[in-house]
Amino acid sequence: MQLHQAGVCVTINSDDPPMFDCETTDDFKAVADTFNLATEDITQIARNGFEASFLEPQEKAKVLAEFDQAAREAEKAPS
């Protein structure tokens, strides 16, 4: 995770979950567990995926606002 810690835009992706019988959430959990990442790290990596997407700027801003709101609400939720 040296790249993430250095500020590089790291993302977690899946080409074809049904074909490879995988879930992106499982991939996020595996990365978090393997590298002992904090919630803030995982949130930033997930956000990076939207930042790096090919969405049009207006749509990207909308999706990022929704993501940020959901992340704030998740932080407040009891564990």
Percent of the chain clearing pLDDT 70 (strictly above): 99
Q: In sequence order, what E strands does the chain have? A: none
**Over residues 14-19, mean pLDDT:** 76
pLDDT digits (tens, 9 = 90+) for 43-79: 999 999 999 999 999 999 999 999 999 999 998 888 6
> For the whole model, what pTM was predicted?
0.85
- Measured over the CA atoms of residue 29, residue 12, residue 22 and residue 71, the dihedral's sign is positive
Enumerate the H helices of the chain as residue ranges.
2-5, 17-20, 24-35, 39-51, 57-76
Domain ranges of the chain: 2-76
Q: What is the pLDDT of residue 24?
A: 87
